Amino acid sequence: MKLDLGTRASRQDILRGVYEDNLRIVNKRVEAARGRSRRARWGLRATLLLAGVLVAAAGFQVWQEIQAKQPAEAGALATLGDPEAAAERMAREFGSPDDPGLAAEVPIANLFNLQVRTIVIDPGHGGEDPGALGPQGTREKDVTLDVARRLRRRLERRGLRVLMTREDDRKVSLRRRVAFANEHEADLFISLHVNALPAEGVTSVETYYFGLQADAQAMHLARLENQDSDFSMADFRESLEKIGDTMKFQESKLLASSIQRTLYRNMRRVNSQVSDWGVRRGPFVVLLGVQVPSVLAEMAVISNRAEEAKLNTPQHREHLAMSLEAGILGYLHPDTSESTQRATEHGSQKDP
Amino acid sequence: MAAKKTPKQADDILYIGIDLGTSRSAIATSSGKKKWVESYVGWPRDFIARKLLKKDILFGEDALNNRLSVELVRPLERGVIRDGTPRDLEAVRALIHHLIDLVGAGRGQKIYAAVGVPAEALKVNKLAIRDAVKEYADTLMVVSEPFAVAYSLGALNNAMVIDVGAGTVDFCVMHGTMPGEEDQRTLVTAGDYVDRQLYEMLAQRYPTARFGETLVRQFKESYGFVGKANGKVQVKVPVEGKFTPHDITQELKAACESLLPPIAETVIDLIARYEPDFQERVRKNLYLAGGGSQIKGIAEALEEALAEYGPYKVTTVDDPLYAGAEGALALAQDMPEEYWENM
């Protein structure tokens, strides 16, 4: 059957496209196809680096000022200051970290050719803390532990050192989880959770990185996830002092974007009703204390009866692990991952 | 169609195209051989089974026919390696090795392989497929299955290919360039979904009859239809040990027709993204491939389902079983040597 044949030129383009697509799969650079000179790339890198350093320095200064003005009150992190005003001031004076003109679109690890060697996976909850419960009694702590084990197996096959904050059903305080990641010199930190929502029938995927400028829903979720944190107010202050490390937040955002994109795309394949709640900021202490790019993924909604049934199947848990793996690889190799080339159909960036 | 390599190259190198399907896998070679196998791998359960079967591993129909004596693995789900377990990976490797053995790759020949994967397969899936194939090929590339079909048809512009497989229905819009992510779509309401629907409907209507998964799939493949029935579909199924005739006409029709709404919806959604004049041209060039395209009346029924959005012309490809493998082979043969060398 011969049909509408393309021109010779388009056939050659297509063959080249297949070739380049395969190079991306095996993580080889498509130098000739980039259409960007080496000098231009180095110029871009230098600009990004300079911008990153400026933003980091600015962030540190502003947060020191904010801290000096704020009373040390106990309670939710959001009461530590007026984050919107601080962010506005920071943006006015130094440019917002989210300003596309300043935000680094390339992971720092890649920019400096740094190797990501150790990934710490944090299965949420455990022991006497079951986390969220499904209508049939499925416990969040069991789902997160199983998905974490599957994710570890997958990442280890890629030669990465993977550690878990808990290996079995035991309670580990948030403070201990943070310390574990820092003690083991983690390069990335991924906290796994599943959500429970009051509205029946809703199912969603969302990924968080640390930020005080959170919406009401993120604040509510953070309060739940921050329970029994075992952190003191002094710890908060110490951690907030480190918040000047804007680089970490930019990196966390990139990691969160990549994970959200692959999680949503894959979950949509098995459930067309799943909502993309995007990449969000939230004041999760487990993300604040870790010194490297860190995210918290709410992979599914356990309060949804159908979703709960799926979460009880090994296939679905493996699917979740595979999607997380793809997101991590997408972050580590942005030049070569198709998953990070385009936004999802419904958009993944929903920062407040 | 494809620009052929010189005779010297053809002797030195065996180009192969592989379509790794959830239900069936096919291979086509530059030496003109074509083979297919059911995507099942079976290992004898114990030494008695091994002695009886006289084999360490069984493939395809052989494995299926001896399913009670073997540990049966269908390693591909939705067109990709199912769970990524060592057993699945081993089964995929064995299946690929078996396919290459079937076409008898000559000694001293290099094997350049192109392998079809579902349109929306993730990078990790593609890597897993690559890992499974690479030990049997000197160099290889993976391509989207519907795109490979489009390439084999020469439908590089103004066309859409819909590959109705067992695990996935893959869509690919061709507009004269390499199709991107936004030009492709994958649905999981495919052949296996029809089987499950049919099984549930039959189990509900005939609770005493023994309908197995394999039997139901055979019914669908032999008698599946949509639209108007040409007489009754009667099959014999055991009831309390006795084979008894059962009328499955309405259930078969309903199960097969369950494929149509998601396909029609996806066609509309995909086409709507393009310029109106391009939409107009694509409407005349929809091609159905894959095992599901063999369901009687499916092309006409799809045209009807799409009619309210304008006139559509849906054509079933001539050889759906091999269209993906032959497309991958054509790509492999046309691919410049330097591209292969750099892989």
Nearest residue in A to B338, CA atom: A19
Please return the burial class of A158, using the count of CB atoms within 10 Å of its CB with bins 0-12, 13-18 and 19+.
Answer: middle
Tell me the pLDDT band of A293, cut-offs 50, 70 and 90: confident
> pLDDT by residue (tens digit) across A45-76?
434 444 444 444 444 444 444 343 333 332 32
Our CA dihedral for A229, A235, A240, A241, rounded to 10 degrees, sits at -160
> pLDDT by residue (tens digit) across A16-26?
888 887 887 76
Tell me the pLDDT band of A154, cut-offs 50, 70 and 90: confident
A169 vs A37, which has greater pLDDT?
A169
* Facing residue for B181 by CB, picked from A7, A330, A338: A338
Q: What is the mean pLDDT of residues A81-102?
A: 34
ipTM above 0.90, yes or no: no
Q: What is the pLDDT of residue B162?
A: 95
Q: How many CB pairs under 8 A join A and B?
A: 111
> pLDDT by residue (tens digit) across B171-193?
999 988 878 777 888 887 889 88
- The pair of three-digit structure tokens given for residue B326, joined into one six-digit string: 């032959």
pLDDT > 60? residue A218: yes
* Facing residue for A3 by CB, picked from B82, B155, B186: B155
Q: What is the pLDDT of residue A82?
A: 38
Give the least confident one: A117-126, A244-253, B34-43: A244-253
> pLDDT by residue (tens digit) across B241-267?
888 999 999 999 999 999 999 999 999
Token pair 């999981």: residue: B188
CA distances from residue B119 to A25, B173, B287 in whole angstroms, order as listed: 14, 11, 15
Q: What is the pLDDT of residue B27?
A: 95
Q: What is the pLDDT of residue A92?
A: 38
Asked if B122 and A322 come within 8 Å (Cβ–Cβ), the reply is yes
Tell me the pLDDT band of A302, cut-offs 50, 70 and 90: very high
Are B144 and A22 a contacting pair, CB within 8 Å?
Answer: no
Could you tell me which residues of chain A have a Cβ less than 8 Å from any Cβ in chain B?
Answer: 1-7, 10-11, 13-19, 21-26, 28, 154, 262, 265-266, 269-270, 314-315, 318, 322-323, 325-326, 329-330, 337-339, 341-342
Q: Report the sign of the C-alpha dihedral through residues A120, A126, A132, A135, in that order.
A: positive
Q: What is the pLDDT of residue B6?
A: 46
Asked if B343 and A22 come within 8 Å (Cβ–Cβ), the reply is yes
Residue type, B38: E
Q: What is the mean pLDDT of residues B204-221?
A: 89
pLDDT > 50? residue B24: yes
Average confidence score pLDDT of chain B: 86
Q: Could you tell me how far CA A337 lies from the centroid of its own chain? A: 16
| Cα B201 to Cα B219: distance, rounded to the nearest angstrom | 13
> pLDDT by residue (tens digit) across B44-80?
998 888 888 999 999 998 998 898 899 888 877 655 5
Å between A185 CA and nearest CA of chain B: 26
